[in-house]
Each structure stands twice: as C-alpha cells, then as structure tokens.
Copies of this chain bind each other. A is one copy, B any other.
C-alpha cells in the first residue's frame, strides 16, 4: 500500500503555487499575499481550499493572517518556525513516538554545541547579557513554573549567543515541548541551589571565552538536572 499515487488535492496545488510565487517573485518577510478570494479565482479553486493551504503555511510559520483592511491586513509573509517546531515535538511526545530520553539526549548535543560556540564568539561580551538577567530572575522565582520559565530563557540565550538561528530555534522548541517535564523535575528536586551554581559556572565560562570549560559545565548541569538518565 506504499506508493499510493493519490491525486493531489486542491490545497496542495495552492501550496505549490504559493511557494513557487515566493521563490520566483522574490517575496520576502513582510510582503503580502493576495487575498483569499483573489487567490481562489487565480488558481481556480474554492476559497475553502485556499484557506486550507493558508492554514498549512500558517502552521509552518510562513504566513500570518490578519483581518480588517489596510497594509497590515491579509496574509503576510513571516518567519516564525518556532511554534511549529514546538508543536511538532510536543505532539510527538504525546503520541509516544519520541521518548523523553531521545529529546534530552538531543538537548545535550545542542547545549554542548551552543556553549562551545557561544564561548568562542567575540560578540557575547558586548551584548546586553540575557544570561545574567535570566539567572537573576531565577533567583527571584517563587514557583517552579517561574523558575523553569527563566531557566528556558537562560538556555535559549546560550543558543542564541552561538549565532546560529536554526540551533536556537530547535532549542526553543525542545524546551517548549519539555516545559511540563521540566517543571515536574524542578518540583521533585526541591532545592535549586545546585542548578543555579551550574548556571553561574556556565555563564562565567562563556563570558570568559573558555569553550572547553563551558562544554564541561553544561554537561555537568544536565547530569544534575536529569540524574535518572545518567
């Protein structure tokens, strides 16, 4: 039953045409797509089919729709792959088609890479220090939810400091999909002192440009956070 050559559906044709138009017309983020009715007439499909295609593009973070009139209305090209990635991971975890172990192993890979490259990047010291800010906020956190929120911000800041937007996006998605588990883990831990110590060590290693120490520090940190997996 594999090679099912199902006739392409109408909305798939719309997807192809829109993507082609993006490529050929050199459309960029911020540009507008034609209205649903206009697109439907151009492609000779119903508005419902156009809407299904737009929904797909919206899911993929490529367009954003806004009702009303004027320059901000209609389907506008954007680039927000984060929520799509997050949804994808969250649902895969929910369907048990990915194990928490696999997600955490992947996270370790990305954390190590990010820390190494962030430490090696000369731009890090100059930026407003999102990492230090997150550490301060974790200090003040009253609940596990709050703590995890700023913990996510801390680790995402590392990934962003690596300078690679794809890696940063994957990190955001991983942490977003794991949020629930992270909160449970923090609650089970009780004391967050060890984690905070790790955070300071990671931060110090990165800002001082010591890549090897940064990698070592994040590795130790994840071992503390998920002792049952090591």
- For the complex, what is the distance from the CA of A59 to the CA of B83, rounded to whole Å? 13
8 interchain residue pairs of minimum CB distance: A79-B97, A59-B59, A52-B55, A56-B59, A109-B113, A102-B166, A102-B164, A106-B166
Asked if A105 is an interface residue, CB under 8 A from chain B, the answer is yes
Are B79 and A95 in contact, CB atoms less than 8 angstroms apart? yes
- Structural contact, A28 and B95, CB atoms closer than 8 A: yes
* Distance between Cα atoms of A11 and B54 in the complex (Å): 13
How many copies of the polypeptide does the oligomer hold?
A: 2
Residues in A92-112 with C-beta less than 8 Å from chain B: 92, 94-98, 102-103, 105-106, 109-110
Q: Say yes or no: is A91 at the interface (Cβ < 8 Å to chain B).
A: yes
Chain B CB within 8 A of A62 CB:
yes
Which residues of chain B have C-beta atoms less than 8 A from A145's C-beta?
A: none
Q: Is the interface of A mostly helix, strand, loop or mixed?
A: helix
Q: How far is the CA of A204 from the CA of B109 in the complex (A)?
A: 24
Interface size on A, residues (CB 8 A): 44
Taking a contact as CB atoms under 8 Å apart, the answer to whether B62 and A59 are in contact is no
| Chain A residues numbered 55-76 whose CB sits less than 8 Å from any CB in chain B | 55-57, 59-62
Alpha-carbon distance between A103 and B165 when the two chains are bound, in angstroms: 9
Q: Which of B19, B51, B84, B164 contacts A105 (CB 8 A)?
A: B164
> Is A88's CB within 8 Å of the partner chain B?
yes
Q: What is A's interface to B at a CB cutoff of 8 Å?
A: 11, 19, 22-23, 27-29, 48, 51-52, 55-57, 59-62, 77, 79, 81, 84-85, 87-89, 91-92, 94-98, 102-103, 105-106, 109-110, 113, 164-167, 170
Q: Which residue of B lies closest to A53 (CB)?
A: B55
Given known contacts A22-B94, A79-B92, is B55 in contact with A11 (CB within 8 Å)?
yes
